[in-house]
Structure 1
Amino acid sequence: MSRCPRWEALDVLGAAPDGPVAFGADLSPAGLLAAYRAGVYPFPASDEYTRALNEVVFADQVQEGRIRLVGEESADPYAVSWWSPDPRPVLPVSATHLSRNLARRLRNRLPWSTSLDRRFEGVVRECRADRVPLWLTDELIASLVRLHDLGHAHSVEVWEDGELIGGVFGLQVGSVFSMDSMFFHRPGASKVAVTDLAERFAQSGGELLDAQRDSPHVRDLGCVLVPREEYVQRLHSTARDSLPMPAATLPARRLAEATGSR
């Protein structure tokens, strides 16, 4: 059984492309940020059954050293699996777009507005609501909120007449923003949130949105697949500091004209 004391020591590029690259229980703000900087994101077990299943399915690979354990020996490693898919779905900020239909709706009648970091925890908890499996655990949310307080985690909110109807949140690592989750209560609201995030992030010097997991939904946003090695190189080649994203509350209809909607 092989254990890494720190994420910096993990050979992410040598890990399997389609399974967990590590197990480890550390969801502290510092541990979480270090993992994202290594190109890895967490998937906490939602209950004891899922935790036990992790051990049953992957214990042999852990014993053989093909999956590493990260963190202190005293903690239960199988409580959290850590992932770094290969390939990785990403969205260059310059390539964001809205569908022609959604752009038309914004221009003609939708009274939506967008904001940055106005309701971070609210967006996180909306993303958690009614989700199965429940990977946004209380411990993970607490660390995300702390990272938000420290300026590493951000959210974009979409509003209609004062009601929160959509949003996206995640962590920033230099010029890469890793999107953890998004939600919507009106059709198209999550796509507006991502497009707004791309615009604000581009204005701060950001280059790439990371969707983490491939799906038809993220492909519809315009994501493309890149090799994990390329993604990790982008993380390591970017500066840790960048300009703050613009925080003003703005009309969402501006996105219909600004992103080259198709």
Structure 2
Amino acid sequence: MRLVQLSRHSIAFPSPEAALREPNGLLALGGDLSPARLLVAYQRGIFPWFSPGDPILWWSPDPRAVLWPERFHISRSMKRFHKTSPYQVTLNHAFDQVIDGCSRERDEGTWITPDVVQAYQRLHELGHAHSIEVWHGKELVGGMYGVSQGGLFCGESMFSRRENASKTALLVFCAEFVHHGGKLLDCQVLNNHTASLGAVEIPRRDYLLQLAELRKVPMPSHFWVPRSLFLLP
């Protein structure tokens, strides 16, 4: 299969089934990071991921890593930590700070370039991208962000500046998300960290079927309103 060059004059994508098997479902290159193109990409199970200085690369992995929020694995040590946790968790209070943290807190470098930051900030302003923040007092110590697709949340990145901060973000968000009707989190490509939290791999075909159905599942209108989050009993 041949890698497709996208046009700046059309936001159409090839079928995800055309993605290369290796590496990780590379599908296309080029185009831009406009809100319209990004939204079409997420609706089709495609996401951008590329290194600074490279062309924009678009991916649709097979298999796909996902996490059913009710199956989030909380270790015994995390349970003990959370009982006396000093953290507070909020939703959509500091998107710009969270994506900035995700872009900086990477020993191996980052794909979250200034252009990517700006693109997802636009998606946030349009109500499609969201952040979960973890605070210790007034200090932002961790968080995550992603893109909503109805009852499915596409996680993009997370960061942690203190012990268990990013795990706290995901733990509390999963509980809140499933409580309000959310069904699935997209983790894109499985790694040791997400696997330890309960993420698994499923065939891309199955992910695309889930995406098509869950996009039709609306979250309550108030769900994404900026607010504090708490771990429900």
Q: TM-score, normalised by structure 1?
A: 0.78
Question: By how many angstroms is 1:240 displaced?
Answer: 6.6
Q: Give the match for residue 110 of structure 1.
A: 85
* Other-structure match for 1:13: 17
Partner of 2:102: 127
Which has the larger Rg?
A: 1
Where in structure 2 are the equivalents of 1:95-244 lying within 5 Å?
95-107=71-83, 109-131=84-106, 132-238=108-214, 239=216, 241-244=218-221
Please tell me the residue identity of whatever aligns with 2:201: L
Contact 2:172 2:229 in 1 (8 A): no
Q: What displacement does 1:205 show?
A: 2.0
Structure 2 matches for 1:33-48, cutoff 5 A? 33-47=39-53
Give the drift of 1:169.
0.3
The 5 A counterparts of 1:42-81 are 42-47=48-53, 51=54, 79-81=55-57
For the structure 1 residues 243 and 120, does the alpha-carbon distance in structure 2 shift closer, same or farther, using more than 3 Å as the test? Answer: same
1:78-110: CA deviations, max 9, x gaps? x11111111111001111132111111221x32
Task: Supply the RMSD in Å over aligned alpha carbons.
Answer: 2.0
Q: Which has the higher helix share?
A: 1
Q: Using the aligned pairs only, state the percent identity.
A: 35
- In the alignment, residue 104 of structure 2 is paired with which amino acid? A
Deviation at 1:40, TM superposition (A): 0.9
- Kindly tell me the number of residue pairs found equivalent between the two proteins: 223
Q: Which consecutive residues of structure 1, in runs of 5 or more, have no partner in the other structure?
A: 52-78
Would the aligned equivalents of 1:35 and 1:41 in 2 still touch at CA under 8 Å?
Answer: yes
Unaligned 5+ residue runs, structure 2? Answer: none
Q: CA deviation at 1:178?
A: 0.8
Is 1:249 aligned to 2:225, yes or no?
no
Q: Matched residues in 2 for 1:196 and 1:143: separation? A: 26
